[in-house]
Amino acid sequence: MRIRQAVAADLPRLQDIERSAGEPFRALGMPEIADDEPPGVDVLERYRSAGRCWVAEGTEDGIPVVGYLIGEPVDGSFHIEQVSVHRSAARRGVGRALIAYVADHARDGGLAGLTLTTFREVPWNAPYYERIGFRVLDESELTPGLRKIRATEAEHGLDRRPRVCMRRELGHTRADPAPPNN
């Protein structure tokens, strides 16, 4: 797997990935999430042209791009707006690799942490992010930018199910240090 900046030609594929990644929500009784339209190409282009859209390339099943991550700096951290993996590549570490790559990018850019908002009770949402080092933020810990994001989500009806803001500190070292020379 290789992670790289997205190019314009990738953007329609990212919409396909989003649709595929949404399908498992049906089994949880959340068809509104499965049916939600992916970000438009114009929205994805905004992230891409700002250098904040990464893709994971894979060669399995003949699918060259299997996952993507978009986000932007918010209040001194990098806020992950969306990370999605095509169902054909699920449970193979693609999302974790994208997050690790972006963590290094954010750290190198002087940001202190990663943030995201997600569903509290969906197994591949908050419980997954906790396993990879994120923690749920208390209401008192929300920054003005995170409060604004949550308000926008509520306007779109995402608060019908329990949602949380989460954060992972980045520290001073890269997530994947080079192996020792032995």
Q: What is the pLDDT of residues 68-93, one digit of tens each?
A: 999 999 999 999 999 999 988 888 89
| For range 163-172, the mean pLDDT | 90
Report yes or no on 99 lying in a domain: yes
* Residue 68 falls inside a structural domain: yes
pLDDT tens string 113-123? 999 999 998 98
Is residue 182 domain-resident?
A: no
Decide if 164 contacts 135 (C-beta within 8 A). no
Q: Evaluate whether residue 180 is within a structural domain.
A: no
Q: Is residue 174 part of a domain?
A: no
Answer for the pair 67, 80: CB distance below 8 angstroms, yes or no. no
- Tally of CB atoms within 10 A around 10: 20
Instruction: State how far the Cα of 144 lies from the Cα of 139, in Å rounded to an integer.
Output: 11
Question: How many folded domains does the chain comprise?
Answer: 1
Is-contact 15 23, C-beta < 8 A?
no
Domain, as residue range, for 52: 2-169
pTM for the model: 0.89
Residue 181 covered by a domain: no
179 part of a folded domain: no
